[in-house]
Amino acid sequence: MSKHVDPVTSGRLFGDTGWMTGVEAGRALCRLLADPARPYRAMWERRGVAYRGRDLNQAAVAKVVAAYLVDRGVLSEFEEGDWPRARRDWVRSRLSGALLTHLDLEVFMDAFAFDVGERDRLRHILESDSTPMFVPGEIRLEGLPDRSTYAVDRTRDEHVLGADGLPAYHRTTQTVRALADDVTACLYLFDADAVTVEVSSGGTADAPRQVSEGIWAVVLTLDTPLRAGESCDLTYVTTFDYREAPAPVLRRAALPHEVELEMAVSFEPTRLPAAVHLSTWATVTDPQPVSSVLVDLDERHRVSARWTAVRAGLVGFSWTW
């Protein structure tokens, strides 16, 4: 899979900015869950009281989250009972803030139906308390399009694997919105050296250039310059010429604004994976997901997902052969 630093890693597509978690956000989340003056404590206490000398019963909190995941269709009902026990380390690390990504935070806030003000405060704490997933100085972008002048509001990745298990086709469709006047181009970053990018609508692509150790960039020039507030759609196909099989993963990093991400991975009927997981990662360098949920292929040997609240970390699919 390709590894994209822009919004995808491959499988990886990386976002412009990513953030690791902060302990203060975890502490703030726990204070809200433990506060008897708020409704959240009663939700988990119905499933188990706090242990002596502790403010929270993390197992009971996990049961509330599991029930929410069942309601959302992420877990099946028969998995609900085992999930809190199987994922106790996941719950502990998130509540401590050690590995609390924005995606994880959204899950807790949705599961307990936090009000708008509390959601905004927790998001702000996590953003303020986090450390960069990428160190800006590591990527040399001098003379390239300024990524602070535009936002990518929507991204859809269609990834097709061939009979050899290698990526055969990758198409990306994005909605680009100008944050300043005279936006003429945007930047596509990835971590595969042998790549061809062809834009099918909305602009043109130049040749890849290396901008850091293991990272390359392609400038996508828009057909029509954008003024502040204007948007356009870009569709481009990335072809990878791998010398060896890439990691079995397709993931995309969060962007520093509200964004809609869609992702679909299709497998050749003669080369189906042993298992596919919907996964999250805290940082680009994580070799293994920090959370995963087993998902099934549909009748077209395909998996897909959509995210609307990804504020940091990486989301996507991982699989085994």
Whether the bond into 15 is cis, omega within 30 of 0: no
pLDDT of residue 290: 66
List the Cα angle 170/233/177 in 5-degree steps.
120
- Indicate whether 141 pLDDT > 60: yes
The dihedral of CA 250, 219, 151, 226: what is its sign? negative
pLDDT digits (tens, 9 = 90+) for 160-200: 999 999 888 899 999 999 999 999 999 988 777 678 899 99
Co-location of 161 and 293 in the same domain: yes
3-state secondary structure of 180: coil
Q: How many domains does the chain have?
A: 2
Q: Copy the structure tokens of residue 319.
A: 């699989």
Give 128-178 as a DSSP string.
HH--BSS-GGGS--TTS--GGGEEEEEEEEEEEE-TTSSEEEEEEEEEEEE
Q: Flag whether 81 is in a domain.
A: yes
Co-location of 122 and 153 in the same domain: no
Co-location of 303 and 212 in the same domain: yes
Residue 105 pLDDT level (bands cut at 50, 70, 90): confident
pLDDT digits (tens, 9 = 90+) for 191-248: 776 788 999 999 999 998 888 777 788 999 999 999 999 999 999 999 887 777 888 9
Q: Flag whether 302 is in a domain.
A: yes
- Indicate whether 145 pLDDT > 70: yes
Co-location of 162 and 307 in the same domain: yes
Co-location of 161 and 309 in the same domain: yes
Domain extent, residue 188, equals 8-16+147-320
Co-location of 74 and 180 in the same domain: no
Q: Flag whether 1 is in a domain.
A: no
Judge whether 224 and 232 are in contact, CB under 8 Å: yes
pLDDT of residue 321: 92
Say what the pTM is: 0.61
CB atoms within 10 A of CB 246: 21
Co-location of 294 and 277 in the same domain: yes
